[in-house]
Amino acid sequence: MRKKMDYLVYLAAAAAAALIISGCGVMTDAPAEAPAPEPAEDADGAAHSGYANNLFDDSYIHTVDVETAEEDWEDLLANPGEKTKYHADVTIDGEKIENVGFSTKGNFSLYNVVRAGAGPRFSFKVNFRKFEKKQDYHGLRRLNLHNIYYDATFVRDWLCYRMFREMGADAPLLSYVRLTVNGEDRGLYMAVEEVDEAFLKRTRDGGGVLYKPESRNLEPDSDLLKQIAGSAGQTEVYARGANLVYTDDQTESYPDIFKNRETDGGEEDDLSVIAALKGLSEALAEYDDDAAAGLERYLETDEIIRYFAVHNFVLNHDSYTGPLLHNYYLCEQDGRLSLYPWDYNMSFGSFWTYLGVREFSGPHTLINSGIDTPLLGAPLNDRPMWRWIAENEDYLAQYHREMDRLVTGYFESGKFDEEMQAIYDLILPEVENDPTAFYNVQEFTAAFKALTAICHRRAESIRLQLDGKLSCETDKQNDADRVDTNGIDIIATSTPQQPGGLPKAPADGKTP
């Protein structure tokens, strides 16, 4: 008998009617769909990053066709929470890879899809090496197929990863695919690169060890989410390691990190992580110019500053700068640490609308959020990987320069508008014809326009902050100096206008 489904406790989104906003660029009907270009050939037929120019060319919609035994598909539908690895064949843009592992993926999102009766639009994982140890797709070992949960814009992950790469920060590759399972159309999905050994080969020539810290407070019987929702995001229940706070030299003291090692490594690598956290802690204890200079022995400072420049722009608090402590990768190489982004479907303030925390979900506060005070629901001392930037004049100035480069080069240059129009034109026909999407085309259009407006206003606010016309610290801002956010509807980017599709928050506000 199969195990009973074991889901994480969560607090569902607050239901609200989404309003179509005005005041931002109107999206027109998409032009006739252009034929997909031929996938690029690898230089040697099997280059380790060949998949970047094949599946992850995001200029056209790819096709992913999954074939699995009918009884296995029926078992998956009946038991999605077990995440059983089934044998399957996968055909990507006409190229067939046989005998791969195929399973559901996700935690909160998987639970909500099941609860809403919205299956089989689950997120899936394809493991090319599950049953054939040397098999891959042009160097790709694992592939994520995301169902675009809680994102009526269909583009938040795509946009955030695009911004990271624009700034020269490594991030997962992403493209859009039309998915079929056993010949049945499952709709528009996102194909997302796994952050694993193949990712390290593409970005670091194979160097480094990856960890995916995850707060152990997100266990089924945890009261963490209730505490967050009941106290404007504040909680005193912290993780054992995922906050990257140094406690001692014992690996057992950091289960949130070391029980979540994603690539090959061992105790020596784990001890190198601890040594770096210790070096950071000692520097912060007596933080002056000399101590700051020593940080580069333990941290990839330039990489981390670029990471936070984008991360803090996009207001993603379902990660290191929020209360839950997950959705980021930690990399150790030669004793130095760096961060990689992951899972931005709740960026641009939608995390707080999901939890129903009104103090943080208002657009006027969120969009004008001070770039120097990005932590919501967490004290500065509990986030040392951000604190070393915030408390040093030189590093903070470097961070401001990176923010300026992002605003100037991507938003004020018009590049953002060009790329958003292109991606809208690309996916609009797919959304219109998606038989399983959580959102209809009217909701998508309204949400996309809302997100475009949010990004423009966010860039305007940061420009004011960088120019000294608005404080970079939220609590020190004068309300009259803030960017006007009238007409901005953050809820419209996430919550369906029509009943059905995704679960609503219980009337009593309690965790179901």
CB 354 within 8 A of CB 345: no
pLDDT band at 44 (very low <50, low <70, confident <90, very high): very low
CB 111 within 8 A of CB 354: no
Share of the chain above pLDDT 70, in %: 81
Closest CA to 281 of 312, 259, 248, 309: 248
Could you count the other beta carbons within 10 Å of the beta carbon of residue 340? 21
pLDDT band at 228 (very low <50, low <70, confident <90, very high): low
Residue with tokens 């959102």: 439
CB 459 within 8 A of CB 483: no
Q: 97 has which bridge partners? A: 90
Share of the chain above pLDDT 90, in %: 70
CA atoms within a 13 Å half-sphere pointing along the CA-CB vector of 487:
14
Q: 185 has which bridge partners? A: 180
**What predicted TM-score, i.e. pTM, was given to this entire model?**
0.85
What is the per-residue pLDDT across 137-184, written as a single tens digit (0 to 9) for each?
A: 999 999 999 999 889 999 999 999 999 999 999 999 999 999 999 999
For residue 40, pLDDT over 50 is answered with no
pLDDT the model gives residue 78: 93
pLDDT the model gives residue 264: 94
Q: Work out whether strand 95-105 and strand 123-127 pair parallel, antiparallel, or are unpaired.
A: antiparallel
What is the per-residue pLDDT across 104-113, written as a single tens digit (0 to 9) for each?
A: 998 777 877 8
pLDDT the model gives residue 377: 73
What is the per-residue pLDDT across 397-428, written as a single tens digit (0 to 9) for each?
A: 999 999 999 999 999 999 999 999 999 999 99
pLDDT band at 217 (very low <50, low <70, confident <90, very high): low
Residue with tokens 């009884």: 71
CB 242 within 8 A of CB 325: yes
CA distances from 74 to 70, 80, 81, 130, 141 (A): 6, 10, 13, 21, 26
